[in-house]
Amino acid sequence: MKEKRFDYYRAKIRKAEQIIEFAAIADFLRYANANGIKQIIQSTDNETGHPCFMLSSKGALYICPSSGFETLEDYSASVQNGFAEAKIFYEAREKNCTTLAEYEMLTTAGITDAALFDEMKKAGYVDGFALFEGQRNEKKHLPKLESITNVLELFEYGKKVKLENFAHFQRVWEAGFTDPKAYDVAIEKGLNNAADFETFKAGKFVSVDDFKEAKRNGITTRDELLLYNDLNLAQYTDTLFDERLLLSILSKLKSGHRTDLKKLYEHFIKICGAYKRPDESGVLKFSPWFTHRLNNEKDVHDFLIGNNYVKRFGTFDTERNIFETMPIARRHVVIDGSNVAYNSSMSERGKHQPHIKNILTLVKKIKEEYHFEDVQVISDASLQHRVKDKELIAELKKICKYSESPPNEPADIHLINKVKRHHCLLITNDNFRDWKLRDQWIEDNIDYYSLRFVLNGDVVMLPFMERFGNQ
């Protein structure tokens, strides 16, 4: 029940027929409220000489020791805020403390400046300190800040690191940070806790999207994510990652080359080492995301016999235990249409008029002279608007697959992904310099799969074919 304010009067007792004394202020206050009494007399008990509260009701005088309280409202406030004694209540009030907890906090911290304590209250540290201590004990992952033992130290820490108030401190600290600047950088990057931010930096990630993808797969470094993406992107359905890795190895063997199973297995095991990391005991094991079942030479033997994707790169002789790669002409080849149309390197683009005839000539020649069978051309969407012989596209489509990248999307993305997914050959004079800076796989592999060309009128040459072995 909310208590009303009282009107107070100073008076002395001369004589009263009936005096009723309450032993406790609480009972006196309850009686006054129950009977709607607002007028309270402040006086002195004639018998004890101590200050008391009095009221007149129903022909009697009711009296109660004041116990050091100046008003009944002060007594109520004292009870509500945990004070047991009037003396402590008034001392706390002088220091701008509302509750006993605040007063004890102030005295524990040795604070004597009421203005300072008021500043701490306005900043939220007084109310927030208990929350800080509770969370520090319960949430083991948060920074302990063990040097902070009282509210003053927390307040001074906040000012030192330039925190606006306790709410600001709480946001930073609950995210696991002690430095608000580091917190701001992390939030700006889209990372909402210190653990992720530290892993992001230690793992040398460039983008948050990459980091989140890595985190979903239990990956802690950008280099490992690149390994994951390379195998994950390969379009060999129904295969595990170690099988995709073996297929990648087969795609890089020289054309017409024969490889003994034992040597192939040894090379495979060596390459697999890049996908292992030490466990808690220091033992090297495959990363959790790296699915695998080729655990020995027999497993590799059986895979070479039974997997249909192997046939894209060669055949396995079960009698001699030898893998022989297919002639290069049977490999799938994709052509950088825009690059060939300009008949130039990327640095020279814009100096010459592009022609579909260049692409048409190249496709005919590699099919007739080099005997390539599975040919696809991918061009930029803008190419058809720049050439003057656009009508030749229809003829080109009759002898090979022809496609264009979506508007505002470079064909390079589709060419590179085609090579990544299918380990096919790529005819281009582009060195993909900018792409190599962004993607380690491109830096390590694109030159291997690329075939340079020379086009002079109707003469077509692929000068570096010999590195792939026999045709």
Is residue 418 within a helix (H) or strand (E), and if so which, with residue range? Answer: helix 411-422
Spatial contact of 469 and 255, defined as CB atoms under 8 Å apart: yes
Closest CA to 366 of 395, 389, 332: 332
Q: Is the pLDDT of residue 2 over 50?
A: no
The 10s digit of each residue's pLDDT in 62-71 is 999 999 999 9
Is residue 415 within a helix (H) or strand (E), and if so which, with residue range? Answer: helix 411-422
Q: What is the mean pLDDT of residues 16-45?
A: 92
Gap between the Cα atoms of 329 and 347, Å rounded: 29
Gap between the Cα atoms of 455 and 339, Å rounded: 11
Q: What is the mean pLDDT of residues 183-197?
A: 94
Q: Is the pLDDT of residue 22 over 60?
A: yes
Task: Give pTM, 2 decimals.
Answer: 0.64
Q: Is the pLDDT of residue 107 over 80?
A: yes
Closest CA to 337 of 266, 261, 400, 268: 400
Q: What is the mean pLDDT of residues 51-64?
A: 93
DSSP 8-state secondary structure symbol assigned to residue 323: E
Q: Measured between alpha carbons, how far is residue 422 from residues 65, 227, 293 in Å?
A: 95, 16, 21
Position 351 scores a pLDDT of 57
Token representation of residue 224: 């490992």
Q: What is the mean pLDDT of residues 192-215?
A: 94
- Largest distance between two CA atoms of the chain: 134
Gap between the Cα atoms of 435 and 441, Å rounded: 10
Class of domain 330-468: alpha beta
Closest CA to 74 of 51, 58, 56, 106: 51
Q: How confident is the model at residue 462 (pLDDT cuts 50, 70, 90)?
A: confident
Question: Which single residue is written with the structure tokens 């018998």?
Answer: 47
DSSP 8-state secondary structure symbol assigned to residue 436: H
Q: Is the pLDDT of residue 212 over 70?
A: yes
Lowest mean per-residue pLDDT among 182-196, 211-225, 448-462: 448-462
Position 236 scores a pLDDT of 87
- The full length of the chain comes to 471
The 10s digit of each residue's pLDDT in 327-337 is 877 889 999 99
Contacts of 23 (CB under 8 A, 6+ apart): 64
Q: Is the pLDDT of residue 309 over 50?
A: yes
The DSSP bridge pattern shows strands 333-336 and 375-379 to be: parallel
Structural domain spans, the chain = 7-80, 123-197, 204-233, 238-326, 330-468
Lowest mean per-residue pLDDT among 43-52, 66-75, 421-430, 462-471: 462-471
Token representation of residue 263: 């040597």
CB atoms < 10 A from the CB of 128, how many? 20
Q: How confident is the model at residue 467 (pLDDT cuts 50, 70, 90)?
A: low
- Could you tell me which residues are beta bridge partners of residue 451? 427
Is residue 434 within a helix (H) or strand (E), and if so which, with residue range? Answer: helix 433-438
